[in-house]
Structure 1
């Protein structure tokens, strides 16, 4: 508190009256007026910027309005005088004012136009291609046309029009490939299910053979996916009422604010339920991102229409937790919610099964016990399945029988990568929730040697703020010894022990006691890995973290950080042993992966590959290893389109212009950032994306220099040529020469009908350009906009931004 100029009164903390400040994104002039008002009242204003780039951007914006604001350096006093104004690097969860102290803390995200949520959504659009922000020298890369090579860095190469930056890739036999930034979307980081295969040769013979083999193996999967989707679309089901009687009550009973992704998932599910064909939708969302709320809204709609609902989960603990949640949310409605699992006695199970068959139970939640032959339903309308891949073969067969003619909603926390989502477009209904809940903070992750001080300090810090602790020790035999250790380092703390070898009743009682806060620490095995949600637990210690897999570690860490408090995850490793290289890399990856929604990041490749296998229902690791995950998804997309009878040939326009675009290092110094920008530009599929990107880049790095503007302009021309089917555009002097593909009679007619266009050959046209380049660009865009109206409908739909997405974001910025 001292650096903030606040008096703690000699106590270790202070309780201060605060008022939250609303965002005013993009309205800098209004913000300047607000600053004047605060300063007149004697307040000191601190502007918190996430990083130095944002800090400099803030400073420049205010300087343009004749306000000189100093940037504070680490260690300096944050607030020195009343009525002052300063900028510091730091993170705030929201902007607020302390009226009694005369202090204002305002974060850059609430002023600058680009928000993290929107940036995340934008970054994922376009054709499949993994981000290159994490690319390192010597990483393996896959080139679509040339196969597996090793990344050596970037190189500036001079040419007639100036100089450009190229990716340099090494191939077998000492060959080198220089990839221009225009083609960077053809390159992606290799991700396989094991070690990288040998480098390919540039002659392409082995790579072509490998691709053909994988593609052949994928054809059976594609045919099944397309056939099943067609069968589901043609099947007759129950069309639920469009306005459920309890929709508003359920929405009002949700104590949090829905995230945009969550709202969309709810809309998707309810829209599916209103159709006459049976729903079969997968909801994919990171741990704690609100999938259960989607299930609750769907269940309310089903029961309000007189149908029964079954929720099947993989563990008894998870069934019990869902039971409590559903009972609480439906408490004010005439809905009977029951649970069927081994937690209930045989008599109770028989009673629930009987009432279920008689239609006296509306919602039943259970484990695979629900799938046994003695369980039947009077009128099942909605089946919700949580983590279906964790059920056995016999249980999956029973699920298939239950799914006939009923709406099915499947939920998973195993990430389904965007590349696979795009590949499966039109064959599987997917909703992805990847925006973190408001106010949620990512867990801070630490790697530490196991010892009394580390464990004791971590436990005491959590208990001092009134929280609870998970201590994971995955060896049942030595749990008693670990319990003695914990009692020594945290004397007085109440301790419970849980593991999978306990009797069901005993385990249930332990978990109930812990949730009821009858204990401070739960010492347990990885039994807590899946699904449990206890918001009061915000510290987890994982012993022998080096012996656990990435997926386990990631899901264990997801057990904390479910509330608004900062969560802490300690990955404890042996004190006297050297870690293997693999274990060290795994732990470091998890430590660095602190951003929320990290389950969708590169470091989670084993989760993603596992999720892909679960979704496709086939053993695909060998094929993924052969070509890399991104190429695998690209080939899957091709064979799916072929199975539908669609052409998959991509007609890339040939462009020759007297200008060249690039990202100058002086504008974006970090090479990784430049590569990511190049990739996003190359992967853009609509002019709206280019304009959005230009605003975002100006917001992050300042006004774009001429070469950067030209890069974006050339990208827009390429997109428009692709959309309307122009084969090539060559600009020579004051003329533009166009060539179209043979047989495109509609486009040919459009050229002939356009004033100023001259026919020069069977498929060739030319037009005069006014010069200089800015006017030439505007002229070309106007022409191509005219020609886009002649593009085949299916091509325009395939390349357009998803319906409503651009408008939604534009509206959100207003």
Structure 2
């Protein structure tokens, strides 16, 4: 920055110098550690050779030399003695009402009212709230204190000069402050840490999937007409003198196909398995698709039958008492996200429908799935039925039990647990209470599924992380499921579960919005390196946090124990694995939870459910030996607080990875966005292959056409069966896209969206939009994210609108130029021949039929004329195609 902005003024706060010196010290320490490690190793074992930090960073002397000639403004939060070069701007930290909140004999709101009156006597008072609802609540509380003259404002600049005013505004301010003639009070100052999450656009499950599935050069794809090819990248070509971005595809024999980006919906991902490229223009591809049709029909029929049987069964209608429901909901210490509210609403609708619920809640770890389950459990318990909450591990079950017991305290609901951590006497009492109906909610492991456990009136079954249950337990779950409401929670649904949800056989709600201040986990994939791991563990230790060190096998524990003792003696650690006695394991987990150890060295027992906010570093030894969903769940044990979390996925030094393991680690390393569990499940479908939906056998046809196309064909078949369209279940004519060529630039410029993966994701999103409202929303989102729309993007959006009208009209190709347009219909057919004759007559000699094409003459001097004219022609033909042809006479 000093080089790019010579002579600039520099503004520094009072923490810059200590942080700068601390950072330089850490860099030097790391350099010295690397040098020592190099000396201790033989030459062929070295992994990293460090560069001298003076070549890369400014040390203290170099820094002082660079800033000495610049104007420096130093800010300080603490009062300073005034004098030459020191100015007191008058700002001070505002009042925190924490003491009043904690003392029952002091009225919090009376104290607030007194503070407001004092502030108004000296100047203006502004109260900042996080949301409209919070502002209204504060306004009502002030009116209770006989302060009814507060004015609502939208902008801080609306506060006038003077004194005596009181203003309420929406402003996400953490703490208030005072200045000359001004008092600002934040909602958090008054009510405490009520965590507010930022609002997010609601997203349908399909859109979430589309947006996050990107292609990389070299990936295999499936073109609906041409079959399996290889995606080589985005390429801008010139068509009729204008730039047009296309996807470059390669087929057998080196043949290439350029697919316009606006027709990207014709492509689907083949998956990560290797496959044979099809011959461009050959007949083998159509033969493969034909073979799959009968299989799809059979699967669709069976799925519909399963869903129909569920809907025909009667389920108990569950509805909570309104006042108690409001009181229970108000106990939630966060502001619900749109996703969470939507999921809760979905569940409430299901419970009151009279049909047994079967809903999957997919949300990342810590995103609030448990709260949805608690709301459902509350409704069930208050409606007089019993609830079973089942988790795959004793640790997760115990954690759920603690959460449920705390949340339901004070309500007439009996919550008990059933797992190996419970004494025999307590377990017997719980089983007796379940049989007699006195236990309302039982939380436990598969112990709840035992034949000896009788639940008098089971109304709701909550299953957490179903993929971890064995076959026998899943069969028992099926028995329990027959006529009860079922809610399944997961961060990474197994492929079959996800397929059932995406095809509409099972209902799906996605919670994709992270808590406020949640930071994405920084993930590093590398060979095991002593210096890096030591530094990671010590960094967490010195910032007061804890770390997990996970190994794939119990046999790996002694090696890592020796590593921790010899290489990181500064930290304390404890060992945990599933073969320990229940009591010993419980003691060790509790000790780690209580902060008595810096590091927990464990097997995959930490995979599910441990919620330790102070643990924010994860080391995974031999990560190549874990499954993708396993790694994702393990990584999710950290990063559950506001602190930045780090995950190190290590592999064997100088070892070769299998192709599948390499893909797995590459995928996980790239999934650094929050809420990526749903994306991960779809990636897992690709890597593992899609199992048959209604059986265990793999479908060879699925592997031949690729999972996404299989999914698309299945969804279409299910929709048609539901609509009663039994003929032409898989309609090839439905899977085509118009080609539009107007000689205008159609692309998202790389200087507008530089990241190629993001650009490709936007193209995929765009291909799924079909209405003017959806396109306008997409345009607004682009402006929010990247700035004002360039001309090329506006043109792209208009071409997509023309394409939609062409699809309605059955136009396969529309070519436009200065002198008009040429139109060719799909399969050389128009849905309403009489309407087409009317269209030609309406053109008054400016349109004619030539070689199975319609030629429309126009005088289009500018690109905008071509776009408007082409849209008008396509729209008119779409209207004619839709109209019923009039019978003669």
Question: TM class, shorter-chain normalised?
Answer: 0.7 to 0.9
- The answer to whether 1:320 aligns with 2:402 is no
**More moved, 743-752 vs 514-523:** 743-752
Corresponding residue for residue 597 of structure 2: 519
- The answer to whether 1:715 aligns with 2:800 is yes
What is the CA-CA distance between 1:516 and the residue it aligns to? 3.1
Distance in 1 between residues matched to 2:129 and 2:393, nearest whole Å: 42
Distance in 1 between residues matched to 2:578 and 2:660, nearest whole Å: 28
Closer, same or farther in 2 for the Cα pair 1:655/1:460, shift >3 Å?
closer
Closer, same or farther in 2 for the Cα pair 1:149/1:492, shift >3 Å?
closer
What is the CA-CA distance between 1:307 and the residue it aligns to? 1.1
Q: Deviations over 1:147-174 (max 9, x none)?
A: 1112334444444454533332221123
What is the CA-CA distance between 1:470 and the residue it aligns to? 1.3
- The answer to whether 1:188 aligns with 2:272 is no
Distance in 2 between residues matched to 1:234 and 1:423, nearest whole Å: 19
Q: Deviations over 1:95-152 (max 9, x none)?
A: 87996999xxxxxxxxxxxx998579489539x867675422x332221211111233
Q: Deviations over 1:738-789 (max 9, x none)?
A: 9797565998899899999999999999899998664675677689889989
Corresponding residue for residue 557 of structure 1: 635
Closer, same or farther in 2 for the Cα pair 1:434/1:422, shift >3 Å?
farther
Does the aligned pair in 2 maintain the 1:285–1:415 contact within 8 Å?
Answer: no
Distance in 2 between residues matched to 1:459 and 1:737, nearest whole Å: 66
Closer, same or farther in 2 for the Cα pair 1:522/1:227, shift >3 Å?
same
Q: Deviations over 1:354-398 (max 9, x none)?
A: 110101100011222212222112221111112223323332222
Closer, same or farther in 2 for the Cα pair 1:593/1:543, shift >3 Å?
same
Q: How many residues are paired up?
A: 719
Larger Rg: 2
Corresponding residue for residue 164 of structure 1: 244
What is the CA-CA distance between 1:566 and the residue it aligns to? 0.9
Corresponding residue for residue 484 of structure 2: 406
Does the aligned pair in 1 maintain the 2:496–2:693 contact within 8 Å?
Answer: no
What is the CA-CA distance between 1:526 and the residue it aligns to? 1.1
Corresponding residue for residue 304 of structure 1: 382
- The answer to whether 1:530 aligns with 2:530 is no
Corresponding residue for residue 347 of structure 2: 269
Distance in 1 between residues matched to 2:268 and 2:836, nearest whole Å: 37
Does the aligned pair in 1 maintain the 2:237–2:245 contact within 8 Å?
Answer: yes
- The answer to whether 1:240 aligns with 2:318 is yes
Matching of residues 405-444 of structure 1 within 5 Å: 405-415=483-493, 424-444=502-522
Distance in 1 between residues matched to 2:488 and 2:617, nearest whole Å: 30
What is the CA-CA distance between 1:208 and the residue it aligns to? 2.4
**More moved, 377-386 vs 714-723:** 714-723
Closer, same or farther in 2 for the Cα pair 1:723/1:99, shift >3 Å?
farther
**More moved, 423-432 vs 463-472:** 423-432
Return the match for 2:744 from 634, 655, 660. 660
Matching of residues 126-145 of structure 1 within 5 Å: 133-136=214-217, 138-145=218-225
Return the match for 1:209 from 287, 293, 299. 287
What is the CA-CA distance between 1:687 and the residue it aligns to? 1.8
Matching of residues 468-483 of structure 1 within 5 Å: 468-480=546-558, 482-483=560-561
What is the CA-CA distance between 1:689 and the residue it aligns to? 2.1
Matching of residues 246-265 of structure 1 within 5 Å: 246-265=324-343
Corresponding residue for residue 298 of structure 2: 220
Return the match for 2:424 from 346, 350, 353. 346
Matching of residues 600-615 of structure 1 within 5 Å: 600-601=678-679, 605-606=683-684, 613=691
Q: Deviations over 1:157-197 (max 9, x none)?
A: 444454533332221123222222232221234314xx311
Q: Deviations over 1:576-601 (max 9, x none)?
A: 65656665554344334321123344
Matching of residues 366-765 of structure 1 within 5 Å: 366-415=444-493, 424-450=502-528, 453-480=531-558, 482-491=560-569, 493-575=571-653, 577=655, 583=661, 586-601=664-679, 605-606=683-684, 613=691, 618-620=696-698, 622-644=700-722, 645-646=724-725, 648=731, 649-650=733-734, 654=738, 658-663=742-747, 664-665=749-750, 667-722=752-807, 733=819
Does the aligned pair in 2 maintain the 1:441–1:567 contact within 8 Å?
Answer: yes
Return the match for 1:125 from 173, 192, 207. 207
Distance in 1 between residues matched to 2:837 and 2:461, nearest whole Å: 54
3-state SS of paired residue (2:734): coil
3-state SS of paired residue (1:177): strand
Closer, same or farther in 2 for the Cα pair 1:132/1:256, shift >3 Å?
closer
Does the aligned pair in 2 maintain the 1:651–1:722 contact within 8 Å?
Answer: no
Closer, same or farther in 2 for the Cα pair 1:443/1:182, shift >3 Å?
closer
Corresponding residue for residue 148 of structure 1: 228
Distance in 2 between residues matched to 1:753 and 1:269, nearest whole Å: 56
What is the CA-CA distance between 1:252 and the residue it aligns to? 1.6
Closer, same or farther in 2 for the Cα pair 1:585/1:787, shift >3 Å?
closer
The alignment's C-alpha RMSD in Å is 4.7
Distance in 2 between residues matched to 1:304 and 1:606, nearest whole Å: 39
Distance in 2 between residues matched to 1:379 and 1:253, nearest whole Å: 27
- The answer to whether 1:4 aligns with 2:4 is no
3-state SS of paired residue (2:389): strand
Distance in 1 between residues matched to 2:489 and 2:774, nearest whole Å: 31
- Name structure 1 gaps, 5 residues minimum: 25-30, 39-93, 103-114, 794-814
Closer, same or farther in 2 for the Cα pair 1:95/1:541, shift >3 Å?
farther
Closer, same or farther in 2 for the Cα pair 1:451/1:377, shift >3 Å?
same
What is the CA-CA distance between 1:407 and the residue it aligns to? 1.0
Q: Deviations over 1:638-682 (max 9, x none)?
A: 332343333644275756664534124555555545444433333
What is the CA-CA distance between 1:255 and the residue it aligns to? 1.8
Distance in 2 between residues matched to 1:448 and 1:18, nearest whole Å: 45
**More moved, 465-474 vs 782-791:** 782-791
Q: Deviations over 1:694-713 (max 9, x none)?
A: 23334444443444322211
3-state SS of paired residue (2:610): coil
Distance in 2 between residues matched to 1:464 and 1:768, nearest whole Å: 74
What is the CA-CA distance between 1:637 and the residue it aligns to? 1.6
3-state SS of paired residue (2:443): strand
Distance in 1 between residues matched to 2:613 and 2:838, nearest whole Å: 62
Closer, same or farther in 2 for the Cα pair 1:703/1:321, shift >3 Å?
closer
Corresponding residue for residue 83 of structure 1: none
**More moved, 560-569 vs 762-771:** 762-771
Distance in 2 between residues matched to 1:586 and 1:3, nearest whole Å: 45
**More moved, 762-771 vs 464-473:** 762-771
Q: Deviations over 1:587-624 (max 9, x none)?
A: 34433432112334479722666696497654447444
Closer, same or farther in 2 for the Cα pair 1:623/1:655, shift >3 Å?
closer
Distance in 2 between residues matched to 1:754 and 1:158, nearest whole Å: 34
3-state SS of paired residue (2:339): helix
- The answer to whether 1:178 aligns with 2:263 is no
Q: Deviations over 1:712-736 (max 9, x none)?
A: 1121122244457777777684689
Closer, same or farther in 2 for the Cα pair 1:371/1:750, shift >3 Å?
farther
**More moved, 13-22 vs 385-394:** 13-22
Distance in 2 between residues matched to 1:494 and 1:146, nearest whole Å: 60
Distance in 2 between residues matched to 1:766 and 1:336, nearest whole Å: 76
TM-score normalised by structure 1 residue count: 0.76
TM-score normalised by structure 2 residue count: 0.70
Q: Deviations over 1:270-309 (max 9, x none)?
A: 1110101111111112222221111000000111111111
